[in-house]
Structure formats: structure tokens, C-alpha cells
Amino acid sequence: MGRRKNNQTSMSFNNIQHQATKIRFNDDDDDEDSSNLDDSIVATEKAIAVDDVTMSEPDVSFVDGGDDDKTSADYYFDSYSHFGIHEIWNSERNRGVDCVSMLILPSVDVFLLILTMQEMLKDVVRTKTYQNVIYQNKFLFKDKVVLDVGAGTGILSLFCAKAGAAHVYAVECSHMANMAKEIVESNGFSNVITVLKGKIEDIELPVAKVDIIISEWMGYFLLFENMLNTVLYTRDKWLVNDGIVLPDKASLYLTAIEDAEYKEDKIEFWNNVYGFDMTCIKKQAMGEPLVDTVDQNQIVTNCQLLKTMDISKMASGDTSFTAPFKLIAERDDYIHALVAYFDVSFTKCHKLMGFSTGPRSRATHWKQTVLYLEDVLTICQGEALSGSMTVAPNKKNPRDIDIMIKYSLNGRRCVASRTQHYRMR
């Protein structure tokens, strides 16, 4: 899972802040405009979806053999084997960054954890939406017991405490839990917020049940890192019968883009490297989805609703699914990649609230997920690119995602049909 080098926010050790940090909102508690509730989320129930989205639990991992068996856990210890690291290494070294020291410093995990937390907090679309959901719906939280899953710095717990929650249990398994305790104490909420360090599956709460579960569980491509299953486990074990999960709806979308310049520069590059064939690296590059911000002007087709998840009702197995798609070209153009993004919504609020990570919405740290196609498709306005997407957790490392796309185009200028496999790691 790479990011574009020419994106100013991509994988820089000294500058990891996302462009969304440039967005500024009024900080009043009653600011409703900061929520990224665009037409795509208002129209979630009206979105044109292909009938009969079929649920399945694939029996095999989609990518087999050789280095393709590597997961994100392998890359943690063997990051130099990732095709993108060479370009990143050189660019960072040219900027004066001591990359060798970065890899061997004992504190690098904490350093990266802090940068990650800062990036998420500075994603104002994300953070302000949660803040507004809580502050503008205090009737949901007043005198309630709240469980914050994956609390991080404890920012959501602090919002809930300020909104009148009777007590908040903030569960965080990383070293950030220690800092969260200090943050809670520094802000005078020690009597309302209890920080618990550990995995939610391993801890015991001091209470039998909670009234509300709140979590920012979404990963890239919505499901990367598999935190949704942790929320579902928590729901089944700790939530009262009429309890609330926030957010409670999430929808995954797909569209297609023209992206000749990037694909030529970063993918086709490996065909001929100073006269040598390095297409084995191209194969790996094609098989790893790219996380990046897509220009809305690159969009060639409509946006297709693939899957809506009701977090309050779904089962853990529902994160594996197969969904058909039919993307209709809105102009004559080329298609180089498919792009996935997601919306989340909070339907239990007095007024529907939520945000979108789509290319036509305000940028977030989730950006979009780009899946490059082996074929360059020539499509004419009104023609349809049809197929299906199968998604399942990787069997070796459930935090990773295996994706299989089948697509076909039977157009006036192009006829193509192919199955491609991807692994998000």
C-alpha cells in the first residue's frame, strides 16, 4: 500500500500532516457546517446499486505464491523489501533525513505513533464531525456510560465527558494509553474518564454493560486493519440491548478514473529500467492498492454503491462480501484505475450527520484507495464497465485485506475482460 511521491503529504518523516489540516472551521460547539455531510451521504439510501449484493466468505486468499504471501506484519520487519521504499528512501535522504537512524532508533515506534495521532487529530473533517455529533446531541450522552474503543489520545472520551456522560471507559492497547491518562488528568476529567490499557478482548470493565460504544475504527478502504470486528465484538459483549453504536452506518463506493501520467511514471516504469526488464516489481506494484488523493476531474464514470454496513446489526462475517458493479462512462475517455472510498453516518442523532472520504468531498487522512488495472480501457460516453469486487480479510494476517476484481468492457473501441487480485497491507 503506497502513496504518491509527488503528494506533499506522502510518507515524509518530517512532514506527515495531511492537506486536510489546511481546512479551518469555526470552533463553536454548535458549528454544524464542519460536518462533511455532502450529497453522497444524504443520498446513501437513494444511491443506484446493482441488485442482489451477494454475501460470501471466500475460502482462499486471493494472492498466492512467493513474496505475494507477505502481509503488513512481514513488512513491519522487512520494510526494505517493499517496492516503494527505494523511492521514499532516496527522496528523504536528499532532504537531509537520516533514514538509517530512523529505522534503528528504539523510540521510532513512539515517534510514529505520535505522528499518526497528530495526523488524525488534525484531520478536522474527522475530528470536528465527531465533536459535533457529541456536542449537538448531548441528550444521547447525558448520564450515560460510554465505552470508547481504540481511544488513542482520548479525544472522543473528552468530548463525551464534556457532553455530560456519567462515565467513559477509554480502551487503548498502544503506549498512547499512558499519555491519554495524563491528558485526562490535565483536563480535570479523572473522575469521569477511566483509561484502560489493553485489548478490548482481554480486559474486564468495572461495569456489566455500557449504554454507548463510540469508536473511530475506519481504516483505509474502510476495512483495512480489521478494527471493525473489534467493535462488533465489543457491541456483542458490553452493549445494553437498546444501546447505541457511533457511528452506526458505513458505505463503500467505487468509481473509475483516468490516470495515465501516474501509471506511466510509477507502474510502467518497471518495464524497462536502463535497458533491463524489472517487470517482476511491476507485478507487485500493480497488486498493492495505492492510498492517495484523487482529483475529481479524473473521474470518468458514475459512483457505484458497493456495500452498506449497519454496525448496530451486522455480524463479523459480513466484512467478507462480493458486490457487483456497473460503472457508466460520463464522457469519452480512458480508464486506468478503479477508486474506492467510503462514507460514514450517525443516524441516531437529532439530525443526520456524517462525512464522506470521496474525491468530490473535503480531503481526509483516509484519502481514497486506487486500484490500477492491467488494461488501459478506452470507453465511450454511456458505455458500461461491469464486474464484481470480492473483499475478505487475509487469512495470514486479518488486518490486511484481499481484494479480487472481475471486470469486462464490451465497447465500440475496446473489448476487455480480466480478473485482478490485490492485497492491501
Burial of 321 (C-beta count, 10 Å sphere; 0-12/13-18/19+): buried
State the catalytic residue, choosing from 119, 172, 204, 216: 216
C-alpha cell of residue 157: 472520551
| AA letter at 117 | M
**Catalytic status, residue 374:** no
Of the candidates 206, 194, 199, 187, the one whose C-alpha atom is nearest the C-alpha of residue 165 is 194
Count the Cβ atoms, other than its own, within 10 Å of residue 156: 25
Question: 167 and 186 in contact (C-beta within 8 Å)?
Answer: no
- For 62, phi then psi, to 5°, come to -80, -25
**Catalytic status, residue 225:** yes
Give how far Cα 222 sits from Cα of 19, 163, 206, 214, 406, Å.
20, 28, 31, 16, 20
Which residue matches cell numbers 474503543? 149
Question: 40 and 343 in contact (C-beta within 8 Å)?
Answer: yes
What is the rounded CA–CA span in Å between residue 406 and residue 133? 38
| Residue spans of beta strands (DSSP E) within 184-231 | 193-197, 210-215
Residues 6+ apart with CB under 8 A from 193: 154, 157, 158, 161, 167, 168, 169, 170, 184
How would DSSP label each residue in 229-295?
HHHHHHHHHHEEEEEEEES-EEEEEEEEE--HHHIIIIIGGGG-BTTB--HHHHHHHHTS-EEEPPP
State the catalytic residue, choosing from 57, 185, 201, 225: 225
- For 314, phi then psi, to 5°, come to -65, 160
Of the candidates 235, 210, 251, the one whose C-alpha atom is nearest the C-alpha of residue 43 is 251
The residues annotated as belonging to the active site are: 216, 225
